[in-house]
A and B are shown apart, each in its own frame.
Chain A
């Protein structure tokens, strides 16, 4: 199957603040600001040899906590960020060397709306079509169709500056779809949306995918990755730490279920006894008092765990049972929760 998106050992080292925070770059006229800049020497390794293959027609997710390098990956793939090392391709086009060809093939929904605030919703779509060389009648028809589909017809001829967050997000997605791109990038598309709007968004994404288009979306929400994506790359500290279908990934966690215990004290004998319980694949002490049990069952194992604790005269302060999920996988690989 042909590849739609490919990265090879992509590296990005920011020597100034990363793009969102570094908006104020330029000749600084304020003396204080320039002194501050000298003082803090920023070096952030956002991407650390990140390699990915996304097949044509695939709905692919990049899952990771904030600051994992997801947006930088999307920035590099959409020509907006220059990689420090490695290469990236959209189809057969090298993203950095053939930027115009790449821009023609992609649609981008950024994390923060960057819509043209001097234009109305309809004009945003028609001018976008014009940038991509669509003839007048075709772009007007397409704009009308997308406004209808995204329930923006009522406000179509108003300046978008007064729109709510959800409307701006829908308009951003509509804009990215005007020229019917082969690859659609959505950077944290559901951040800040209410649950109902999120479902509408998921349906829109699925429908675009059914039309044979490739979609790459980033999210820190594992339910979203699980519900939408055919394959997921779990990214942390600029590296892919796991890759596969959500089901495979979940299966790859030893045991699948996790029982997190907080106990006091935590004698080594208890850990050995827990390991011998039937169905327990791994016992991992975390910090001072925590024990993570990877097992093939959750709830049914708890009475046995409690029995062992009673016999060892150990107080159980907290028990948490986690069903097989991408969250568990992330926890398994990094020892941290996605939300930490």
Chain B
């Protein structure tokens, strides 16, 4: 690996992200804020949901924002760079092995997912109002989970970015991203699926479940969540799988 080239590629992505900072911020913040307001504020204040729901929802929203940020930061640019503009060639001709071009994308996506998580956490907390009980009991555990979730979102972004065609972006959101989120335990804990025994088992193949449950375990440990050890194991396994699979798809696509 060539460190100078890798840093220059990262510098390029940072430069483009800085230039688009406000649109990016809006894109990252708007959807989670709407969800927080409707689910966390309107439904709880009107009494349709108990106040405890606020603490249940907030970690899920953070996981959701991180996932969307990773997809936006890695998958969307890759789809157009590979197909429409062909500008991926501009990066592939840099003097560095092709897999490092993919790893650089993952790294840049991770940073954007982390920033998204860090921005959404306080803003959502402010918007959701009184009654949230978040306890950061074990900061090391929280940071480890946040890092694993950021890596998960950007490696999923890499995989989708190398697998989806320009014309299939809409389908990607409705067929892949939406089910992943809705069956991803972002709006409810996994234990809430007790009355749906089959679904409860099936959703375990969804990597996003471990992101939501992991952040829930780290931020609101008083609420029901999957065992922490299982969360770590699953996140690490999914990270490794999507990193390997995403890079191998990238390499196949990178060369004619």
Contacts and interface: CB of A to CB of B under 8 A. Distances in A.
Q: Check if A and B associate.
A: yes
Interface of A: 14, 18-19, 22-30, 75, 78-82, 99-101, 103-104, 106, 108, 110, 112, 114-119, 123, 127-128, 130-133, 175
Contact of A114 (B5, B11, B16, B90): B90
Interface string B111-144: 0000000000000000000000000000000000
B197 to A, nearest CB: 30
A30 B163 CA distance: 12
Given A81-B255, A99-B97, A104-B95, A131 B165 contact: no
Contact of B16 (A27, A100, A119): A119
Contact of A108 (B4, B16, B93, B166): B93
Interface residues of B, number: 40
Contacts of A133: 2, 4-5, 8, 95
A131 B9 contact: yes
A58 to B, nearest CB: 22
Contact of B172 (A29, A101, A110): A29
Contact of B95 (A100, A112, A119, A127): A100
B16 A132 contact: no
A37 to B, nearest CB: 12
Contacts of B83: 23-24
Contacts of B232: none
Given A26-B253, A27-B164, A115 B95 contact: no
B92 interface: yes
Interface in B1-25: 2, 4-5, 8-9, 11-12, 15-16, 19
Nearest to B159: A27
B166 A24 contact: yes
A100 B2 contact: yes
Nearest to A105: B95
Tell me which of B93, B94, B162, B249 has the highest count of chain A C-beta atoms within 10 A of its own C-beta.
Answer: B93
Nearest to B13: A118
Tell me which of B5, B8, B92 has the highest count of chain A C-beta atoms within 10 A of its own C-beta.
Answer: B8
Contact of A115 (B19, B90, B168, B172): B90
Given A26-B253, A30-B168, A30-B171, A80 B89 contact: yes
Query: Main SS of chain B's interface residues?
Result: helix
A118 B91 CA distance: 13
Contacts of B164: 26-27, 29
Interface string B226-256: 0000000000000000000000010001011
Nearest to A104: B95
Contacts of B166: 23-24
Given A23-B82, A26-B165, A114 B89 contact: yes
B46 interface: no
B93 A30 contact: no
A132 B5 CA distance: 6
B167 interface: yes
A23 B12 CA distance: 25
Interface of B: 2, 4-5, 8-9, 11-12, 15-16, 19, 82-83, 85-98, 162-168, 171-172, 175, 249, 253, 255-256
Contacts of A112: 86
B256 A81 contact: yes
Nearest to A135: B4
A133 B164 CA distance: 33
A107 B171 CA distance: 38
B158 to A, nearest CB: 13
Tell me which of B88, B98, B255 has the highest count of chain A C-beta atoms within 10 A of its own C-beta.
Answer: B255
Contacts of B19: 118
3 smallest CB-CB distances across A and B, nearest first, come from A130-B8, A131-B94, A19-B256
Contacts of B8: 127, 130-131, 133
B12 A127 contact: yes
B96 A80 contact: no
Nearest to B1: A100
Contacts of B175: 29
A80 B171 contact: no
Given A23-B83, A116-B90, A133-B8, 16 more contacts: A24-B166, A26-B162, A28-B168, A29-B168, A30-B167, A30-B168, A78-B93, A79-B255, A82-B256, A103-B93, A108-B93, A128-B90, A130-B8, A132-B95, A133-B4, A175-B90
A29 B85 CA distance: 21
A165 to B, nearest CB: 15
Nearest to A124: B90
Nearest to B89: A114
A99 B166 CA distance: 29
Contacts of B168: 28-30
A130 B7 CA distance: 9
Nearest to A102: B95
Contacts of A22: 256
Contacts of B93: 78-80, 103, 106, 108
Contacts of A131: 5, 8-9, 91, 94-96
B85 A114 contact: yes
A100 B101 CA distance: 12
Contacts of B89: 80, 108, 110, 114
A220 to B, nearest CB: 20
A80 B92 contact: yes
